[in-house]
Structure 1
Amino acid sequence: MEGMAARAGRTGSKKDATTAARRPQVRLPPLVPYDGEGLEPDGDYDGLRFDGVDLADASGPGARFMDCALDGCGLDRTELVRARFVDAVLTGVRGVGTDLAEASLRDMEVVDARLGGTQLHGAVLERVVVRGGKIDYLNLRNARLQDVVFENCVLSEPDFGGAHLVRVEFRECVLKRVDFSAVRMESVDLRAVAELDIARGVERLAGAVISPSQLMELAPAFAAQIGVRVEG
């Protein structure tokens, strides 16, 4: 019996272990400076560097960016619905109302972005790192995130409602008033979050791993979910 219990414990440990996210390995080739104006619907952008290009109000739904770098670009109200980014690096981009609904982001790095109201609902993110910067009101409703790392960034009121998160890590970042309503989580690591403030969806943390200190902080919310009153 003891041997069976030990084997069951080992099996449970393996099953419950959190798998680390696979980070992108982006190696850009020599890039050609982009000398166009704006964007084109279903445009094909390959091996280009957008250096400080103002893409405010540009419309490029369905555009494809492969082996591209966007450095210091303005993305105010830029329409990139169903766009595809593959092997791309975005550094210091800024803007409000960027529309990336149903976009596909794969093998990509986003560094020191300053964005507000970015629409990524229904999008697919695979092997993506978001490092540094601040993003307000990020809309990831019904998106699928697989092998995604948020690192040293501030996410203010992000909405993950109905999203599916697989091997997602939050490292040394701030999550303010995050919405996890109807989220599905598999191997989501929240232990290294610098500040964890869950506005909705605390009951959807099944599939995530948190630290003992976070458990203590979330205990009142967990108790409220199951109808337990805590009185002195």
Structure 2
Amino acid sequence: MARRTTGGSGGGSGPGRARAAQTGAGVKAARRPAVRLPPLEPYEGCGLEPDGDYDGLEFREADFAGQDGGGARFMDCALTGCALDEARLRHARVLDSVLTGIRGVGTDLSESTLRDVELVDARLGGTQLHGSVLERVLIRGGKIDYLNLRTARLRDVVFQGCVLVEPDFGGARLERVEFVDCTLKGADLTAATLTDVDLRGAASLEIARGVDRLAGAVISPVQLMDLAPVLAAEMGIRVEG
């Protein structure tokens, strides 16, 4: 099983307490995954299987386009450079794993569980994660277009250095979520619930819908000025010269 450490708010000193202090007293820091994979065996199968059980495996440059891995479990795995176009992974469980350079359009991960996962330099479009649970997940680098996270639950999730084009958080619950040096374009927060969500580090913040759901989030003064027209429109305020 992968060993991992996470920052916390308990006693003592260390990176966890230092990071919590850096985020400020008004917002709790997300606990990041620190996945240390055991020695892995190369995957020698010919494809994914529904309800498959994959433990301690390395998937490298595998083409899973159009395959059905619904209900599969990935534990202590590394997926590198894999193609997931139209792959069906509904109800999948991805645990203690690292996904690097994966790519795909229309990947279905709806109602899945991602826990202690690092997603690095992904190139994805139209990924379905609605109704999913993400806990201690780091999404670093890459670009994800039209990410569907409607009604999902995100706890201790960090988006870092990535580009999110029109992500849909409609009806989702976000707790201890951080956006660091990332770009959000046309985000939809309709009916979302935010708790300890830190948006101050976002390089660009554009909210298309649901700006009224920002209660529970922290933004910077500059971001407040950028959002002023949207906030004024939401409150019915006319701004004229």
Aligned to 2:197: 188
SS in structure 2 opposite 1:99?
Answer: coil
Partner in structure 2 of residue 84 of structure 1: 93
1:172 aligns with 2:181: yes
* Matched residue, 1:4: none
* Deviation (angstroms), 1:147: 0.1
Number of aligned positions between the proteins? 217
Q: Report the counterpart of residue 38 of structure 1 in structure 2.
A: 47
1:167-186 deviations in whole A, cap 9, x for unaligned?
00000000011111100000
- 1:212 Cα deviation (Å)? 0.2
Secondary structure of the residue aligned to 1:192 is coil
SS in 1 for 2:200: strand
Which amino acid letter does the alignment assign opposite residue 211 of structure 2?
V
> Hey, what's the Cα distance between the residues in 1 that align with 2:102 and 2:191?
30
Q: Which residue of 2 aligns with 1:95?
A: 104
- Residues in 1 aligned to 2:70 and 2:240: alpha-carbon distance in whole angstroms: 55
Question: Corresponding residue for 1:116?
Answer: 125
Structure 1 CA distance for aligned equivalents of residues 237 and 129 of structure 2: 36
**2:132 counterpart letter in structure 1:** A
Deviations 1:137-166 (A, max 9, x none): 000000000000000000001100000000
**Residue in 2 that maps onto 1:9:** none
Matched, 1:125 2:121: no
Residue 201, structure 1, aligned to residue 210, structure 2: yes
Alignment match of 1:148 (pick from 143, 147, 157): 157
Q: Report the aligned-residue RMSD.
A: 0.7
Deviations 1:76-100 (A, max 9, x none): 0111000001101000000101000
Cα shift readout 1:118-139 (whole Å, capped 9, x = no counterpart): 0000000000000000000000
Post-superposition CA distance 1:169-208 (Å, at most 9, x none): 0000000111111000000000011111111011100000
Matched, 1:24 2:17: no
**Counterpart secondary structure, 1:191:** coil
Which amino acid in structure 2 is aligned with residue 21 of structure 1? A
SS in 2 for 1:220: helix
Look up the match of 2:79: 70
CA distance in 2: counterparts of 1:225 and 1:98, whole angstroms:
34
The 4+ residue runs of structure 1 with deviation greater than 6 A are none
Report the alpha carbon displacement of residue 58 of structure 1 after superposing the two structures with TM. 1.1
**Structure 2 residues not aligned, in runs of 5+:** 1-24
Write the distance in 2 (CA, Å) between the matches of 1:35 and 1:187: 43
Cα distance, 1:225 vs structure 2: 1.5
Residues of 1 paired with 2:112 and 2:57: CA distance? 19
Partner of 1:218: helix, strand, or coil? helix
Question: Is the aligned partner of 1:55 residue 2:56?
Answer: no
The normalised TM-score by structure 2 is 0.89
Deviation at 1:113, TM superposition (A): 0.2
